[in-house]
Structure 1
Amino acid sequence: MSRIKFRRLDGILLLDKPQGISSNQALQQARRLFRAEKGGHTGSLDPLATGLLPLCFGEATKIAGLLLGSRKAYDAVAVLGATTDTDDADGAVLRQRAVPQIDDVALEAALAPLRGRIRQRAPIYSALKQGGEPLYAKARRGEAIEAPEREVEVHAISVTGRQQDRLTLRVECGSGTYVRSLVRDLGEALGCGAHVAALRRLWVEPFVSPRMFTLEQLQTLAEQEGEAALDACLLPIEAGLSGYPQLRLDEEGARRLGMGQRLRGPWAAADTVAVYGPLGQVLGLGRVDEGGLLSPQRLFVRAGGDAGPEPPAAQ
């Protein structure tokens, strides 16, 4: 096999992650297809899960943390009557219980405490780190684990389908929320236990109506139409910043910002602003204090000095 010659490449890929591989495995497969020197993903999806996994290449990796903290939506299939050690169908069954008759009133009573700002215990098989090591690594060694509780936000959770002992749930939540934990806790509230049988991420802000690409589609494009067609699947960095306040600089201001200088202007205070140059290209991220002083936080270095396009609407 010939050695891949990687290249400088900036952009965001909205990948439709397949079931059965980790987020990092999906990232590495896509990175090899694009021959991207640098890449990162924006929050892990379990191997069981499918759906939107935004991948950042090159300078776009500088906004991966912003996307990681964004609001997200999922469809989940919950199987009632069995709990597993992973809280999903990939794990070993720990306990089986009969599923009682559950009417709409009882179901809503069990769902209500799972909405809003809640305390949630992470699954023991999760990427959450404890003592610098992921919990799943400790669990695989058979260590006794006390999974931590933390506060998360669940904007919405509802039942969109029901068939025998299976519920289909629609969940909208903030960063750090485990849908597996929501399903586990719902099962306990119903008195029978539950685990996730299928999970699909629908969107991640600002990509609320995403055009996603599968690895198979990308492979076919690369083989049949070439690298230019593959690159056309990428969104510019600007697409990932559409939800943040925008600040425009003239040519002199852009030059000074590029040198790391702070600038004062008639700007509203904000912890994170997307700073654009005179041609509409995003220059970087900054912070504006109460006095209107802009401090550069993270600047983008474009390949070949490309000014970039006008900021597009999120896709």
Structure 2
Amino acid sequence: MGRSKKKGRAVSGILVVDKPLGLSSNQVLQRVKGFYQAQKAGHTGALDPQASGVLPICLGEATKFSQLLLESDKGYDTTATLGEVRSTGDAEGEVIKTAEVGEFSAGQLEAVLQQFRGDVVQVPPMFSALKLDGKPLYELARKGMSAEQAQAIAEKKRRTIQIHQLTLTDQRPRELDLSVRCSKGTYIRTLVEDIGDQLGCGAYVSRLRRSHSGPYHAAQMVTLEQLEALAEQQDLAALDQLLLPIETALPDSWPVVELSHQQADKILHGQAVSTGLKPAPSVQLWAVESGQRQLIGIGRIERGGIRPQRLLQVELLPVNG
């Protein structure tokens, strides 16, 4: 028996969605997949329901590069509300501790923020999607375990992350607005809680909006309302025009390897291709001929040959002439 035909369109590209408050990243993903009638889709790093902003969604062949975006740096704008510690680290949690909030000078705040720039050790929050023995921490947390048990489990997931930028953008009596650029795996809730601890009054995240995810930024975002309007008009062409090319997911720092159509065809059919290029751990593979360029995948250069790692399911463009 042959394989059953996949349902939906074989549409490929990357869409930068402005994730609204109140929806999970997966709910947004499923709505986008439906709007595009796409065969395959995946997001590139979840945002909590109470967070908003940049959520890149990969459609079709772009899903092969979603891991690159999962591992990329992120940017956030957040508000830290001072004087309270909450069970989840954000506005959804129960208040578990309160404290008086003093008057902090710009110098005092800068001295505290400086402690959290560069390499920082974090203990992830219990209310997170990280897993222990196959179970998400938030499931374990909701089973009513003691604070001591929760802390012991969270400690096992201690990790070092990088805070590339941490800037105070506004200050009010009980709130600090912060701009953060950080490595993958950074929990802003934990960062805000740790800043609150250093200030001596506690803090939680009352607003969180992602401004960057890898190469994608807020100016590229489209809303679910825009997408829904086009879907209701059945204007698939207009929807497709909103997609960014797959190659935008690839780091600019990666070397570009240009291949003839003959070389590209060999690689796509699993055959070896030699090259005189120097070894490189990550390269972009492009078929280039008669002025036409076409991304076929990514790979590495080792022992004088090209070793493909992720190849796109593409038909090479016909050669002119």
TM-score by length of 2: 0.90
Distance in 2 separating the partners of 1:51 and 1:306: 36
Shift of 1:306: 6.5
Q: What is the identity, as a one-letter code, of the residue corresponding to 1:299? A: L
Alpha-carbon deviations, 1:275-308, whole Å to 9, x = none? 011131110110112x442101111003xx3649
What does residue range 56-95 of structure 1 map to in structure 2 within 5 Å? 56-95=58-97
1:288 is matched with which residue?
A: 301
Which residue, out of 247, 256, 276, partners 1:238? 247
Alpha-carbon deviations, 1:122-178, whole Å to 9, x = none? 111011111112111111122332212101111010100011110000000011111
Q: Please report the RMSD computed on the Cα atoms of aligned residues, expressed in angstroms.
A: 1.6
1:122 aligned to 2:135?
no
1:155 aligned to 2:164?
yes
Distance in 2 separating the partners of 1:151 and 1:44: 20
Q: What is the identity, as a one-letter code, of the residue corresponding to 1:153? A: Q
What does residue range 106-255 of structure 1 map to in structure 2 within 5 Å? 106-143=108-145, 144-145=149-150, 146-147=153-154, 148-208=157-217, 210-224=219-233, 226-243=235-252, 244-255=254-265
Q: What is the identity, as a one-letter code, of the residue corresponding to 2:54? A: L
Count residues with an aligned counterpart: 301
Distance in 2 separating the partners of 1:292 and 1:177: 38
Q: What is the identity, as a one-letter code, of the residue corresponding to 1:155? A: H
Distance in 2 separating the partners of 1:210 and 1:257: 37
On the 8 A contact 2:54/2:216 being kept in 1, the answer is: no
Distance in 1 separating the partners of 2:196 and 2:88: 14
**Structure 1 moving runs of 4+ over 2 Å:** 143-146, 242-245, 261-264, 266-270, 305-308
Residue identity over aligned pairs, in percent, reads: 44
Q: What is the identity, as a one-letter code, of the residue corresponding to 1:125? A: F
Distance in 2 separating the partners of 1:88 and 1:267: 50
On the 8 A contact 2:20/2:51 being kept in 1, the answer is: yes
Shift of 1:209: 6.0
1:313 is matched with which residue?
A: none
Note the residue ranges of structure 2 that are not aligned, 5 or more in a row.
Answer: 1-6
Shift of 1:73: 0.9
1:273 aligned to 2:275?
no
Structure with larger Rg: 2
Alpha-carbon deviations, 1:93-127, whole Å to 9, x = none? 11111112211222112111211111111111011
TM-score by length of 1: 0.91
Distance in 2 separating the partners of 1:181 and 1:156: 16
On the 8 A contact 1:261/1:296 being kept in 2, the answer is: no
Which residue, out of 233, 252, 262, partners 2:272? 262
Alpha-carbon deviations, 1:226-251, whole Å to 9, x = none? 11111111112112125232211011
On the 8 A contact 2:54/2:217 being kept in 1, the answer is: no
